[in-house]
Amino acid sequence: DTEVTQTPKHLVMGMTNKKSLKCEQHMGHRAMYWYKQKAKKPPELMFVYSYEKLSINESVPSRFSPECPNSSLLNLHLHALQPEDSALYLCASSQLLVNEQFFGPGTRLTVL
Amino acid sequence: AQSVAQPEDQVNVAEGNPLTVKCTYSVSGNPYLFWYVQYPNRGLQFLLKYITGDNLVKGSYGFEAEFNKSQTSFHLKKPSALVSDSALYFCAVSLMDSNYQLIWGAGTKLIIKP
């Protein structure tokens, strides 16, 4: 299996909702990432997990909460989001931090 | 500050012609260099990388890139463009001192016309 999967593909939520984004890879990669991407812009790094430990947290608001239950799974818990949080959320993985990253198809999030 | 520049917002090429998408970087230390492609409403796909060794690296879909240390450039090339190559291309750099976080260029939209 050489891909990163993400669910759901689309998500619409209100500002008071709680939802979660899920990411999975079965390539044995030990680094996993969350990015936020606005249209036609490069991805913005949010979180990095290395060996299932949070390695980098790029000053992301606390309404975004990452979780890495095991080496194959990565979640992003969402709560009390703002309309400006609407974006494409990308998950990626790499064998190690030094290696190239493989991206999932993303979750298109709309916050009403 | 560390930065990556893609000087062209958009590149237009006729199908069958060679294409070049430019990337220059300004970093301290030895960079690892990457190219990614993003098709509409899709995630990013890894194309190729330069770590060390031969300055010309070959990647997916017939793309190649040339590392030029003196010009701090890593231009993406393809000898003969296809309409299906139309997409958004990102150059990125990582550094050991920055925990290998990717520093991204702004992206170049490549349009291949039949």
Strand partners, A108: A10, A88
> Residues in chain B whose beta carbon is closer than 8 A to a beta carbon of chain A?
32, 34, 36, 41-46, 49, 88, 90, 92, 94, 96, 99-102, 104-107, 109
Q: Are A67 and A74 in contact (CB under 8 A)?
A: yes
Q: What is the pLDDT of residue A55?
A: 87
Instruction: Tell me if B102 and A45 make a contact (CB, 8 A cut-off).
Output: yes
Q: Which among B46, B100, B107 is the nearest to A98, CB-wise? A: B100
DSSP states along A32-90 = EEEEEE-TTS--EEEEEEETTEEEEE-S--TTEEEEEEETTEEEEEEES--GGG-EEEE
Q: Which among A97, A100, A105 is the nearest to B43, CB-wise? A: A105
Within chain B, how many helices (H) and strands (E) appear?
A: 0, 12
Rounded CA-CA distance A74/B16 in Å is 42
Residues B72-94: tens digit of each pLDDT: 999 999 999 999 999 999 999 99
Q: Are A42 and B105 in contact (CB under 8 A)?
A: yes
User: How far is the alpha carbon of A41 from chain B, nearest alpha carbon, in Å?
Assistant: 6
Q: What is the pLDDT of residue A1?
A: 59
Residues A29-82: tens digit of each pLDDT: 999 999 999 999 999 999 999 999 998 888 899 999 999 999 999 999 999 999
- Cis, bond preceding A105 (omega within 30 deg of 0): no
Rounded CA-CA distance B10/B15 in Å is 16
Non-local (6+) Cβ contacts of A57 within 8 A are A46, A47, A66
